Amino acid sequence: MPSDRSANVQHAIIRTTNVVKTFQLGSHTLEVLKGISLNIAADRHVSIMGPSGSGKSTLFNMIGGLDKPTSGKVFINEVDIAQLDAYELAWLRCRKIGYIFQTFNLIPVMTALENVTLPMIFAGTGNDEAVERGMILLKTVGLADRFNHKPSELSGGQQQRVAVARALANGPSIILADEPTGNLDLTTGEEIINLLKRMSEERKVTIISATHDFKMLNVSDEVIWIRDGLIDKIEQRDELRISVGTIE
């Protein structure tokens, strides 16, 4: 079973070639990513692990088309995102990628339902259909009864569940989760991880999460370890069990 799930056989939904990102801090140039090449196959759950400051969030932003690399290329579905204009990039963010953030990032002035339906409106869905699909999504994440609440009236875990529903709004092929459990306690974090796992199985979505939460390892098909702006090692699910086993 694991052999036919190897990255080489499957279609790479995300591919980066020698991605370098530098930031200019005054006269000092900081090289955050020093040449990252990776393939992420479709329908897998991939975790990008690494200590803070390792460049994992920067890599995450590149993969999500939120930031452009200084050099190197990022391909989403074999399309070089540097070649996309503002409209195509917006379309990509709207239809193909769902984002989940550490700080939930719901729009504070909107209700849970409005937060979930906003990407659908951007995608051109009519209001009635958006509300209907939004309610179904909220029901899926178990928050149907709180649809009319503002983010400030929801707990952290509930906000993150709304964010998961929002990420799924337009049926994306990729979900990018940046430290999805970073601001949650142990149990709530686990709930979100399980929710993500369930969604990836039910909806055939590729989930990529940047994290340093070890709970995430149990549900990942593949873990990419980043250290000092370089790929340290890539472990598959079966290898992972052993190394986690040795830690414990």
Partner 1 sequence: MERLVALPFGKSVEIAYQSIRVRFFRSLITTLSLVLAVAFLCYVQAGNRIAETILQTGSEAGFRALLQAGYDVQPGDAAIGESAKQRWLVILSLMVCVVGIVNAQLMAVTERFREIGIMKCLGALDSFILRLFLLEALMQGFIGAAAGALLGAVFAVASSAVQFGALVFTALPLGGITMTILTATATGCLLSLLGVVFPAVKAARMAPVEAMRVEE
Q: Does 166 bind partner 1 (CB under 8 A)?
A: yes
Amino acid at 186: L
Q: Does 207 bind partner 1 (CB under 8 A)?
A: no
Q: CB within 8 A of 120, min separation 6: which ones?
A: 129, 130, 133, 134, 169, 170
Q: Does 147 bind partner 1 (CB under 8 A)?
A: no
Using the rule CB under 8 A, which residue among 79, 82, 90, 242 binds partner 1?
A: 90
DSSP alpha helix (H) spans, the chain: 56-63, 86-95, 112-122, 127-140, 156-167, 186-203, 237-247
Contact 240, 220 (CB under 8 A): yes
Using the rule CB under 8 A, which residue among 79, 109, 136, 186 binds partner 1?
A: 109
Using the rule CB under 8 A, which residue among 88, 153, 201, 232 binds partner 1?
A: 88
Contact 34, 226 (CB under 8 A): no
Q: Which is nearer to partner 1, 127 or 194 (CB)?
A: 127
Q: Does 25 bind partner 1 (CB under 8 A)?
A: no
Q: CB within 8 A of 6, min separation 6: which ones?
A: 236
Angle made by CA atoms 199, 202, 208, in degrees to the nearest 5: 45
Q: Supply the minimum distance, in Å, between the C-beta of residue 166 and partner 1.
A: 8
Using the rule CB under 8 A, which residue among 15, 21, 93, 161 binds partner 1?
A: 93
Instruction: Report phi then psi at 16, rounded to 5.
Output: -120, 145
The stretch near partner 1 (CB under 8 A) out of 7-15, 116-124, 186-194, 205-213 is 116-124
Q: Which is nearer to partner 1, 109 or 242 (CB)?
A: 109
Residues that bind partner 1 (CB under 8 A): 61, 64, 66-67, 86-88, 90-91, 93-95, 99, 101, 105-110, 118-119, 121-124, 127, 166
